[in-house]
Chains A and B, each alone.
Chain A
Amino acid sequence: MNQKKLLRVISMIMLLVLTTSLLLSCQSTPTTTGSTTGQTTTGATTTKGTTGATTTEKEVFSYPFDPPIKLTINRDNSPYDVSNIDPAFHDVFAWNVYKEKTGVELEVVGASSGAYEMSESFLLLLASGDYPDLMQANWIRFPGGPQAAMDDGYIIELTPYQEYFPALMQVYAEHPDWYQMVQTDDNKLYNFPYLRGDPDAHTETGMVIRQDWLDALNLEVPTTIDELTEVFRAFKNEYGLASAFTFEMRWLWLEWASAGLSSAYGYTYPFFVNDGEVKFGPLEPGFKAFMAQMASWYEEQLLDPDFPSINKATVQSKFASGEVGVAIQQLNNVIGCIEANAGTDYKVSGVPSFKNPATGDAMFSHYYQTYDGSFGVAISTKCDDIESAARFLDYLYTEEGQLFSTYGTEGVSYEMVNGEPTFTDYLWNNPTGATPGEVKGRVSMGANYAVIRWAFTGHMLDYAKVVHKEWVNENMANHVYPATTFTSIEAAIVSRNFTNIDTYCKESIAKFVTGQWNTTTDYDAFISQLESYGVQSVLDVYQAAYDRFAARSR
Chain B
Amino acid sequence: MLNKRSKAEWFGDSINVMILGFLSLIMLYPMLYELFMSFSVASQVAKHRGVLLWPLGFTLTPYRLVFAEKTIISGYRNTFFVLSIGLVFNITFTSLGAYFLSRKNVMLFKPVMIMILITMYFSGGLVPTWLNVNNLGLYNTLWALIIPGAINTFNLILLRSYFLSIPDSLLESVFIDGGGHFTALFKVVIPVSLPAMMVMILYYGVGHWNSWFDALIYLRTRDLWPLQMVLRDILIQGTDLDIRGEELINYEQLQETTKAAIVIITTVPILMIYPFLQKYFIAGLMVGSLKG
The verdict on A274 contacting chain B, using a C-beta distance below 8 Å, is no
Extra A-B contacts (11), CB below 8 Å, given A76-B221, A83-B70, A120-B217: A84-B242, A121-B220, A128-B140, A311-B238, A313-B252, A313-B255, A314-B251, A314-B255, A317-B251, A339-B245, A340-B249
CB within 8 Å for A124 and B221 given contacts A314-B252, A320-B248, A336-B244: no
Of B46, B220, B223, which one neighbours A111 at CB under 8 angstroms? Answer: B220
Q: Digit string of A291-332 for contact with B (CB within 8 Å is 1, else 0)?
A: 000000000000000000001011011101100000000000
Q: Chain A interface secondary structure, helix, strand, loop or mixed?
A: helix
Residues of A within 8 A of B267 (CB): none
How many Å lie between the Cα of A14 and that of B178 in the bound state? 93
The verdict on A148 contacting chain B, using a C-beta distance below 8 Å, is no
Task: Report the minimum CB–CB distance from B7 to chain A (whole Å).
Answer: 51
Residues of A within 8 A of B64 (CB): none
The verdict on A551 contacting chain B, using a C-beta distance below 8 Å, is no
CB within 8 Å for A109 and B221 given contacts A120-B216, A124-B130, A128-B139: yes
How many Å lie between the Cα of A314 and that of B248 in the bound state? 10
- B246 x A340 contact (CB < 8 A): yes
- B248 x A340 contact (CB < 8 A): yes
The verdict on A441 contacting chain B, using a C-beta distance below 8 Å, is no
CB within 8 Å for A110 and B220 given contacts A127-B131, A128-B139, A313-B240: yes
The verdict on A130 contacting chain B, using a C-beta distance below 8 Å, is yes
- B134 x A321 contact (CB < 8 A): no
Task: Report the minimum CB–CB distance from B86 to chain A (whole Å).
Answer: 21
Minimal Cβ-Cβ distance residue in B for A81: B70
Most buried by B among A109, A121, A336: A121
- A124 x B238 contact (CB < 8 A): no
- A313 x B251 contact (CB < 8 A): yes
The verdict on A125 contacting chain B, using a C-beta distance below 8 Å, is yes
How many Å lie between the Cα of A318 and that of B139 in the bound state? 42
The verdict on B250 contacting chain A, using a C-beta distance below 8 Å, is yes
Q: Which of B191-237 contact A (CB under 8 A)?
A: 216-217, 219-224
Q: Which 5 A-B pairs have the closest CB atoms?
A: A110-B221, A110-B220, A111-B220, A317-B251, A340-B248
Of A111, A311, A317, which one neighbours B248 at CB under 8 angstroms? Answer: A317
Most buried by B among A120, A122, A129, A311: A311
How many Å lie between the Cα of A237 and that of B141 in the bound state? 58
Residues of B within 8 A of A124 (CB): 130, 139, 217, 220
How many Å lie between the Cα of A339 and that of B131 in the bound state? 50
- A125 x B251 contact (CB < 8 A): no
Minimal Cβ-Cβ distance residue in A for B253: A317
25 A-B pairs with CB atoms under 8 Å apart are: A74-B220, A76-B221, A109-B220, A110-B221, A110-B223, A111-B220, A111-B221, A124-B220, A125-B220, A127-B131, A128-B139, A128-B140, A311-B238, A313-B238, A313-B240, A313-B255, A314-B251, A316-B248, A317-B249, A317-B250, A320-B248, A336-B248, A337-B248, A340-B246, A340-B249
Task: Report the minimum CB–CB distance from A214 to chain B (whole Å).
Answer: 21
Q: Digit string of B40-61 for contact with A (CB within 8 Å is 1, else 0)?
A: 0000001000000000000000
CB within 8 Å for A130 and B139 given contacts A110-B221, A124-B130: yes
How many Å lie between the Cα of A260 and that of B104 in the bound state? 78
Interface residues on B, range: 20 to 34
- B140 x A318 contact (CB < 8 A): no
Residues of B within 8 A of A110 (CB): 140, 219-224
Residues of A within 8 A of B70 (CB): 83
Q: Digit string of A125-144 for contact with B (CB within 8 Å is 1, else 0)?
A: 10111100000000000000
Residues of B within 8 A of A121 (CB): 216, 220
* Interfacial residues, chain A to chain B (CB-CB below 8 A): 74, 76-77, 83-84, 108-111, 120-122, 124-125, 127-130, 311, 313-314, 316-318, 320-321, 336-337, 339-341
How many Å lie between the Cα of A316 and that of B244 in the bound state? 11
Residues of B within 8 A of A321 (CB): 46, 249-250
Most buried by B among A108, A111, A125, A340: A340
Residues of B within 8 A of A341 (CB): 249
Task: Report the minimum CB–CB distance from B155 to chain A (whole Å).
Answer: 28
- A316 x B251 contact (CB < 8 A): yes
- A127 x B134 contact (CB < 8 A): yes
Residues of B within 8 A of A77 (CB): 222
- B139 x A76 contact (CB < 8 A): no
- A128 x B134 contact (CB < 8 A): yes
Residues of A within 8 A of B140 (CB): 109-110, 128
- B134 x A317 contact (CB < 8 A): no
Task: Report the minimum CB–CB distance from B95 to chain A (whole Å).
Answer: 33
CB within 8 Å for A320 and B249 given contacts A121-B220, A128-B134, A313-B255: yes
Residues of A within 8 A of B251 (CB): 313-314, 316-317, 320
- A318 x B252 contact (CB < 8 A): yes
How many Å lie between the Cα of A454 and that of B72 in the bound state? 37
Q: Digit string of B241-274 for contact with A (CB within 8 Å is 1, else 0)?
A: 0101110111110010000000000000000000
Residues of B within 8 A of A129 (CB): 134
- A340 x B245 contact (CB < 8 A): yes
How many Å lie between the Cα of A337 and that of B251 in the bound state? 11
Residues of A within 8 A of B238 (CB): 311, 313
How many Å lie between the Cα of A110 and that of B139 in the bound state? 12
Residues of A within 8 A of B219 (CB): 110
